[in-house]
Chains A and B, each alone.
Chain A
Amino acid sequence: AQTVTQSQPEMSVQEAETVTLSCTYDTSESNYYLFWYKQPPSRQMILVIRQEAYKQQNATENRFSVNFQKAAKSFSLKISDSQLGDTAMYFCAFMKVAGNTGKLIFGQGTTLQVKP
């Protein structure tokens, strides 16, 4: 069975600074997706970034980038130039391709507070 672990329950960062959120996962699958979702106080889940396991290049989306280390099973999220609107809970999630179920396995989440 797959598991996803986020070891940082809470983090804080000053506005305009850079912060990195950690995520590790355990799987025997070779083909899978990894995601970071954001849940602001409104509780609406929003996709931040996704990574396909067969792609070696790290995904980037504007101020958000990942460090995908497949051998180490690590998938960290870097937020550059943090903004007050980045305050939210962030979830790392895993989805295997085999079986075609689309099931997402989530980590416990990291609450990020951006301070002015």
Chain B
Amino acid sequence: DGGITQSPKYLFRKEGQNVTLSCEQNLNHDAMYWYRQDPGQGLRLIYYSQIVNDFQKGDIAEGYSVSREKKESFPLTVTSAQKNPTAFYLCASSTAPRTNFREQFFGPGTRLTVL
């Protein structure tokens, strides 16, 4: 089955630690995205990548880092510089916006809690 997987589903982190969230897709999509969701708010874009070895900051990139070494994978690192990292994180992918774009497909999400 084609789709997007995120792991782990739940993640606990101590203050001051970096943590990496995994996102993998087998949809052969060029573009991948990371969003953050807080209670009572919509999704906000952290980083996005339209092609391997290239990525751009979204609206709330401070305290986060990403890499895109493979088309299928777009891991997100939450660093100790992120002031309030407790949130629900969603990964998405899509075809390139100008290439028969239909929608962004979302993974099941990772709930990160800082203890």
Footprint of B on A, CB under 8 Å? 4, 6, 9, 33, 35, 42-47, 50, 91, 93, 95, 97, 100-104, 106-109
Instruction: Give chain A residues whose Cβ lies under 8 Å from the Cβ of B35.
Output: 106
Q: For B108, what are the chain A residues with a Cβ–Cβ distance below 8 Å?
A: 42-44
Question: Counting chain B CB atoms within 10 Å of each CB, which of A33, A106, A107 scores highest?
Answer: A106
Residue positions of B touching A, CB distance < 8 A: 31, 33, 35, 40-45, 48, 50, 56, 58, 88, 90, 92, 94, 96-98, 101-104, 106, 108-109
Q: Give bound CA distance, A65 to B3, whole Å.
A: 26
Closest A residue to B44 by CB, please name it.
Answer: A106
Residues of B within 8 A of A93 (CB): 42
Instruction: Tell me if A107 and B103 are in contact (CB < 8 A).
Output: no
Complex A-B: 26 CB contacts under 8 Å: A9-B40, A33-B101, A43-B88, A43-B109, A44-B108, A44-B109, A45-B90, A45-B92, A45-B106, A50-B103, A91-B42, A91-B43, A93-B42, A97-B97, A101-B50, A102-B31, A102-B48, A102-B94, A103-B58, A104-B104, A106-B35, A106-B42, A108-B40, A108-B41, A109-B40, A109-B41
